[in-house]
Amino acid sequence: MTEHTYLEALNLAMHEEFARDPGVVVFGEDVGGDKGGVFGATKGLAAAFGDQRVFNSPLGESGIAGLAIGLGLMGHHAIAEFQFADYILPAVNQIMSEAARMRYRTAGDWTAPIVFRTPYGGGVHGGFYHSQTTDKVFAGQPGLRIVTPSTVYDAKGLLKAAIRSEDPVLFYEHKRLYRSLKADIPDEDYVVPLDKAQVLQQGDDITVMAYGTMLQHALNAAKALQAEDISTEVVDLRTLYPLDQETILAAAKKTGKVLLISEDTKEASIINNVAAIIAEQALFDLDAPVQQLAGPLAPGMSYALEDEFLVSAEQVQAAMRELAQF
């Protein structure tokens, strides 16, 4: 075991997969050379594996996606980095019309195994276009997988699994967690499944499901609420599409009181899909209406009022207490 940050774990995953499979390549804006990405996720890869496998792309996201899909068609597992999740939008057509549909539309004759990596989320004073959580744009596109690690262990194991996957995977990395999250993780090779949520903490009174920084808030609040004799089941949703219905339903039924948290705006969000699954399949096991705590319905995250936009640790704790008391 060695202590690493979330960012180092991602970097390690890529180093190990590059060494394991000579077909793996990575590219994106400022990904290559000595810089290794604006957050440093790909640092050291160009020096270790050469600039044919690790390179800067021109500043065009549709091109990044299309190049990766073409490589995927030829059996390469390409990692395409979008500098910010906000910037993925010009690539939506390539990702949805080509990557998501390639396997199905050819009945398996052609496939596009790609990892689309991208940093998402607020809390870094990124304003409108460096703070968004665009995962919901892609949810409901069968053929695609959307995953996001919220622990250091998963950052490494989930990325390795995504690189090895034969499906196109959107890999969302919370930029606030890059350096703030640190943990001991195994030095040996391991992977994390791309279709399983995980119960991070067992509890009996309420169930909280979240991902990213909201999950950190939930874990902290669960610890604090132990003093008030509130026992919390905490679920890391982790695989945002397709969702792991089995784990979600089991955790919902266990306590009968569910709080879903997202830093994204509330409408048409990932947690809406979780709420729908619970409403449809676990209604009679519930003891309270499903609660959703999410961002306000504003078109962007205000630079100056970021703290007012983001769901706070205090709000999370209050919502959990209120649900326990329902």
Partner 1 sequence: MKTLAASKLGKDDLIATYRLIKLGRRLDERLWQLNRIGKVAFHISGQGSEVAQAAMIKAFNTKRDYFLPYYRDMTAAMGWGVTAEQIMAGSLGKAADPSSHGRQMPNHYGSVAHRIVSFGSTVTTQYLLATGVAYAALLDHKDYVTLVTTGEGSTAQGDFHEALNIASIKKLPVVFAIENNGYAISTPNREEFAVKQLAERGKAYNMPAEAVDGHDFTATYQAFAKAVSRAEKGKGPTLIEVMVDRLTGHSSDDNQNVYRSKEEMAALKENDNVPLFEKQLSEEKILTPAEIANIDAEIKEMVNQATQAAEKLPAPAAETLLDHVYA
In the complex with partner 1, the residue whose CB is nearer, 28 or 203, is 28
Question: In whole angstroms, what is the distance from residue 69 CA to residue 80 CA?
Answer: 9
- Positive/negative CA dihedral, 22, 85, 43, 34: positive
**Tokens representing residue 213 in the block:** 């920084």
- Applying the rule CB under 8 A, the residues between 132 and 151 that interact with partner 1 are 142-143, 145
Q: What sign has the CA pseudo-torsion 237, 243, 244, 250?
A: positive
Residue carrying the six token digits 């689309």: 116
Q: Is 23 in the site for partner 1 (CB under 8 A)?
A: yes
Output phi, psi for 26, to 5 deg. Answer: -140, 140
Residue span binding partner 1 (CB under 8 A) among the ranges 32-40, 97-105, 176-184, 203-211: 97-105
Q: Which is nearer to partner 1, 35 or 179 (CB)?
A: 35
Active-site annotation holder among 4, 77, 130, 217: 130
Q: Select the residue interacting with partner 1 from 5, 165, 272, 281 (CB under 8 A).
A: 165
Structure tokens at 121: 């989320």
Q: How far is the CB of 3 from partner 1 (least distance, A)?
A: 34
Instruction: Check binding of 40 to partner 1 (CB under 8 A).
Output: no
Q: How many residues bind partner 1 (CB under 8 A)?
A: 45
User: Which one of 38, 73, 199, 224 is in contact with partner 1 (CB under 8 A)?
Assistant: 73
Bridge partners (DSSP) listed for residue 209? 235, 260
Q: Is 191 in the site for partner 1 (CB under 8 A)?
A: no
Of residues 13, 14, 45, 65, which one binds partner 1 by CB under 8 A? 65
We find the least distance from the C-beta atom of residue 198 to partner 1, in angstroms, to be 20
Q: Token pair for residue 10?
A: 């991602």
Q: Give the distance between the most distant pair of CA atoms in the chain.
A: 59
Phi, psi of 151 (to 5 degrees): -135, 160
Residues in Cβ contact with 14 at an 8 Å cutoff, skipping those fewer than 6 apart = 24, 26, 41, 42, 45, 79, 159, 163
- Candidate residues 33, 44, 110, 249; the one interacting with partner 1 per rule CB under 8 A: 110
Residues identified as active-site = 130
Binding site for partner 1 (CB under 8 A): 23, 25, 52-53, 57-58, 60, 62-63, 65-76, 78, 90, 93-94, 97-98, 101-111, 113, 142-143, 145, 165-167
